[in-house]
């Protein structure tokens, strides 16, 4: 579970809910108006459907999971695992990794090691894995763009609802009883649009961008690690090569853990 995503939503919804509850003297339901909500949510969803293929829009649920759950081990842990595989290959031969593959849960890593064990050409291994890396990046970019588009159009449809409310208000200026509902529609639509964009869609798009970068880093480490193992590099050299993907802070933390283990 990605706690920062959950905590962010809880804090955002909680503070806004508290402000509404206090401002309405315990009657927050006046902020829940289905017609206005339908204009914003329905309009933004419709615009997103127009912008993307139906297949992509229907995958939003799967994309959303990526923002709430962690899917990979840390880079330091991944590097440690790859170095251990390099030690096995160095000691017992690369064919010995075939017995290790069945215990590895990372399919991308399994695919790379299996190709190395099968004696595939190094250029072919790198080409196949890099091609999959590009495909993953393209797929993730589409998922991120879905939420970014939803966030882009939500305030616009909030404005559409606001204009509808103002038209209704001005049309009924001679009837004071109808001015209130028209103004309410105008303000609530703006509120819904801003809330959907700035608390939901755009933050999720930003989180998905970070998740994409993390997965690409993960796969890039795997590619470099598999290539190093396939070429028969000394495990220490493999470790040094892969540590270049870590920040100075992560390197120090990894070295501290190794020192304690030793």
Query: If we measure between CA atoms, which residue out of 201, 164, 158, 200 comes closest to residue 183?
Result: 164
- Cα dihedral 77, 81, 83, 89 in deg (nearest 10): 180
pLDDT at 174 over 80: no
Place of tokens 């894995």: 129
Tell me how crowded residue 53 is: count the other CB atoms within 10 A of its CB: 10
Q: How far apart are CA 98 and CA 101, in angstroms?
A: 5
Q: What is the pLDDT of residues 46-85, one digit of tens each?
A: 999 999 999 999 988 888 888 887 767 788 889 999 999 9
Mean pLDDT (the chain) is 89
Q: What is the pLDDT of residue 184?
A: 77
Q: What is the pLDDT of residue 181?
A: 72
- % of the chain surpassing 90 pLDDT: 56
Query: Phi/psi class of residue 119: alpha, beta or left (left: φ > 0; alpha: ψ in -120 to 50)?
Result: left
Q: What is the pLDDT of residues 77-117, one digit of tens each?
A: 899 999 999 999 999 999 999 888 888 888 999 999 999 99
Q: How far apart are CA 106 and CA 98, in angstroms?
A: 15
Query: If we measure between CA atoms, which residue out of 212, 205, 158, 206 comes closest to residue 60?
Result: 205
What is the pTM for the complete model shown? 0.85
Q: What is the pLDDT of residues 228-254, one digit of tens each?
A: 999 989 999 999 999 999 888 888 888
Q: Which is it for the CA torsion 31, 42, 1, 12, positive or negative?
A: negative
């Amino acid at each position: 579970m990605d706690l920062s995503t959950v905590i962010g939503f809880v804090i955002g919804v909680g503070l806004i809910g508290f402000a509404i509850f206090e401002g309405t003297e315990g009657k927050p339901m006046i902020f829940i108006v289905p017609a206005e909500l339908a204009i914003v949510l329905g309009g933004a969803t419709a615009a997103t459907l127009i912008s993307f293929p139906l297949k992509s829009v229907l995958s939003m649920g799967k994309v959303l999971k990526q923002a709430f759950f962690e899917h990979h081990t840390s880079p330091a842990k991944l590097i440690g695992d790859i170095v251990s595989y390099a030690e096995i290959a160095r000691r017992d031969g690369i064919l010995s990794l075939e017995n290790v593959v069945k215990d590895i849960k990372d399919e991308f890593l399994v695919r790379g090691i299996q190709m190395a064990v099968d004696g595939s050409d190094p250029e072919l291994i790198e080409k196949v894995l890099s091609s999959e890396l590009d495909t993953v990046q393209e797929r993730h970019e589409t998922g991120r763009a879905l939420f970014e588009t939803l966030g882009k159009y939500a305030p616009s449809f909030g404005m559409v609802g606001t204009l509808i409310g103002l038209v209704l208000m001005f049309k009924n200026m001679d009837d004071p009883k109808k001015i209130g509902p028209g103004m309410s529609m105008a303000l609530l639509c703006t509120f819904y649009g801003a809330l959907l964009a700035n608390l939901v869609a755009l933050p999720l798009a930003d989180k998905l961008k970070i998740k994409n970068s993390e997965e690409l880093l993960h796969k890039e480490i795997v590619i470099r690690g598999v290539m190093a193992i396939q070429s028969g590099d000394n495990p220490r050299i493999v470790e040094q090569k892969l540590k270049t993907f870590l920040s100075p802070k992560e390197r120090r933390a990894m070295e501290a853990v190794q020192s304690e283990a030793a």
